[in-house]
Structure 1
């Protein structure tokens, strides 16, 4: 064994350097927490990712970190998302400055988040594989294997597993990953096309076949396809002719696919860990939940997990909040993960409807959503992430737990610019003073009389309606947030 166990009571180890791990590690380091990001792969940004869509709520979270504009510059906006059959959702009316979805390969998002993490001071440990884990009342010890085969012990106050569907961290704490494979023998390929598709995202399902085409931006396109009638093992050989056949079945043409630089098979699962926290070990992203690709919600849900967990974990590690604050991560994000499982699963099942009764159900639902705006808005809110809200205590203001839009504040600064400090923002009516200067105070640009205590992740921690000449006191705030927000 090389090295000895070292105790670091104020540090965190994040395992897995995908988008979720990079965002979380960057948030922790920016908050002053020593953080090590452990990754078993060599240091490189892979183009083998399956995610190609960044939704509006994720873009808002990235805006709160000052990197949304960089990512927007690398992607291509799309104002409509097709879900199944003839149903597509219009995004231009979304209540956000990001009234679109962004088509961008996952590795481009990872590059931006890695630069941020490096700048924030994250320590990277590549080619380091987790082989065991123990925890006690004071921290967590990881046993790892280095690239040369030597072993080592790493110690931290908390460990977060963001290491994907086959999470070593999740397995080490004994958490099951119940669920099932929904789609087997999905094919993927990176190809050149002789004919450019008419749409930025090309997707359709006909009979037993489904196909999706998205651009990398470098002349290559990612193709994802599935033929229900060809259910084979992931190890079965794959050639370009099979991919072209699926495209012709689903899309009516193969766009002259040629020069494949990579091809593979995989199976799509629906799974969710029963708990996202076991003592001092937490899970986020695909280590906690995996979904079908339908709706492009997988990577987005993981990034939003990180946005929820980062400020809470930083507050606990630095002594600004009690350990119980981490229980709210489990409560809030497990419910969202479950909702995403339902919505993405429902989309893929409707997209692949085959029997007369399932086709009739899809047609009826498409017509209903086309006619009934509240129902359509519910679907849009779930897919884009804008509609999720967290549970509020009984008797709380109706806004508690809801997402706050990127409002313009009285000093001309947008809310999500104000959130870049990683702190709570207290928005007050004009002319209202706050007795304690230790919290960041802003004022409405309008005559609104609602006071909002906005969490670092952009959700309402507390709200109240203020009469003229009434101020706010820290005792108004929920106990679990008061210590942190008034540091």
Structure 2
């Protein structure tokens, strides 16, 4: 692979991605969108037919909409306008969220991976299935991945290596990055089964002194049944028989719903761990390689996609010599706190899911009533779980209040939308003065536009955007700079400064 950074003697260019799940595939797609050479190494010879996850959160749908592929997923998924928090009976209402996707989308992970792989291949990614990562070696200007493939062992060399290889990440271990947190104290189970007499209403959830149970339809005739059992504290596990699954289901629900023919059975614990670093030299971590947690609320796949969304444009800009100093270091600075909050939220749900004491049931009742009776509380939880509330700290204390926050899908007077403008994967400068800023900047620096420019006015009133006259939106949809400066020339100067800070 030829290097993008010709000033670095010995640089070979490109990126190696270890792991071909959703996080790895989206990392590859984001890099290929910007012309970076990418090789994905995936040990499975064929995509897994089993569904580890099936919940797509609104922010992930926005990510895909900002690349023009959201409808590929929407067409095949099932929309659920609510979500559970800790299996409370009262569900969070997603319908009023400020997003074009006010719902969770239920779509089995094998189909998600198929669509992502098709997209990455369409962009030119090199995906190698049946190839196993066995180790890494860092050099002064590159990193080497040792791989074992069907034809034997070989080595790949590139500028950077991204580990997207799950909670038992060999990349994390090979890079010497620690994983800190708490071990599992109990375990839950999941099974995809047939039900002869399924619940009348699905998704179904129930909690009692024996445990918790959830039933979700997966595909015609197939249901995901899962539960938690505080009596299950052994780290060892050799699978569950259909009789054991039936007994565990009936213990909570009073019936096994005619459970039979398990297609896939899994178990996971309540361990909560976070990588000590998301970057070490030329090695970076994303997705489950960086964080291990209880799969509560179906957030794991989504956080991985959003890690890759933050990383992709920064890594490409670094490789292509367009990044301002220290840009790649902001990946850990921005995303690791999201990982900290992820563990906090899943741990909180872990407590609620196992709250069978009288005090615990009272806690569930109080929080459930708050979800049902206080729309603002329900919205807060929904925005947290869906990642719509994620905001990154600004670099300066005097930054505009919008800086670091996610930009919604703004609609403009001439009919365009922000997510459509983000599709090329570049910064977007929004001139909300109707063109005055753009004209001033063109006179000052003719032909030096950076990213995508759009001059218009908002087609809708938004309280937090009311006085904003110009905005620079990052490729990942977060606000890099905003200003309500009323002087056109001063505003143009400020916009030029913001563009210069963003890169070249």
Instruction: Bin the TM-score by the shorter chain.
Output: over 0.9
Find the counterpart in structure 1 of residue 143 from structure 2: 140
- How far apart are the structure 2 equivalents of 1:256 and 1:477? 66
- Range with greater deviation from structure 2 (90-99 or 354-363): 354-363
How far apart are 1:129 and its partner, in Å? Answer: 1.7
Does residue 482 of the first structure (1) align with residue 491 of the second (2)? no
Find the counterpart in structure 2 of residue 422 from structure 1: 425
Q: Cα distance 1:414–1:104, how it changes in 2: closer, same or farther (>3 A)?
A: same
- How far apart are the structure 2 equivalents of 1:151 and 1:37? 16
Task: Check whether the contact 2:177–2:275 (CA below 8 A) recurs between aligned residues.
Answer: yes
How far apart are 1:475 and its partner, in Å? Answer: 5.2
Q: Cα distance 1:300–1:415, how it changes in 2: closer, same or farther (>3 A)?
A: same
- How far apart are the structure 1 equivalents of 2:325 and 2:252? 51
How far apart are 1:237 and its partner, in Å? Answer: 4.1
Find the counterpart in structure 1 of residue 269 from structure 2: 267
Task: Check whether the contact 1:185–1:234 (CA below 8 A) recurs between aligned residues.
Answer: no
Alignment root-mean-square deviation, CA: 2.1
Find the counterpart in structure 2 of residue 437 from structure 1: 449
How far apart are 1:470 and its partner, in Å? Answer: 4.2
Gapped regions of structure 2 (runs ≥ 5): 1-9, 442-447
How far apart are 1:373 and its partner, in Å? Answer: 4.3
- How far apart are the structure 1 equivalents of 2:216 and 2:199? 9
Per-residue deviation, residues 64-88 of structure 1 (Å, max 9, x unmatched): 1222111011110001112233331
* SS of alignment partner, residue 165 of structure 1: coil
- How far apart are the structure 2 equivalents of 1:168 and 1:349? 31
Per-residue deviation, residues 195-231 of structure 1 (Å, max 9, x unmatched): 2433342222222322222222242122222322233
How far apart are 1:118 and its partner, in Å? Answer: 0.3
- How far apart are the structure 2 equivalents of 1:186 and 1:199? 22
Q: Cα distance 1:264–1:445, how it changes in 2: closer, same or farther (>3 A)?
A: closer
Residue 217 of structure 1 is aligned with which of 216, 219, 226? 219
How far apart are 1:414 and its partner, in Å? Answer: 1.4
- How far apart are the structure 2 equivalents of 1:478 and 1:470? 12
Does residue 456 of the first structure (1) align with residue 468 of the second (2)? no
Instruction: Normalising by structure 2, report the TM-score.
Output: 0.89
Task: Check whether the contact 2:269–2:294 (CA below 8 A) recurs between aligned residues.
Answer: no
Find the counterpart in structure 1 of residue 92 from structure 2: 89
* SS of alignment partner, residue 330 of structure 2: helix
Does residue 56 of the first structure (1) align with residue 58 of the second (2)? yes
Does residue 465 of the first structure (1) align with residue 484 of the second (2)? yes
How far apart are 1:257 and its partner, in Å? Answer: 1.3
- How far apart are the structure 1 equivalents of 2:143 and 2:292? 25
Instruction: Normalising by structure 1, report the TM-score.
Output: 0.92
Gapped regions of structure 1 (runs ≥ 5): 1-6
Per-residue deviation, residues 445-466 of structure 1 (Å, max 9, x unmatched): 3485511111111110001003
Find the counterpart in structure 1 of residue 247 from structure 2: 245
- How far apart are the structure 2 equivalents of 1:8 and 1:204? 56
- How far apart are the structure 2 equivalents of 1:97 and 1:291? 29
- How far apart are the structure 1 equivalents of 2:134 and 2:404? 38
- How far apart are the structure 2 equivalents of 1:409 and 1:137? 48
* SS of alignment partner, residue 74 of structure 1: coil
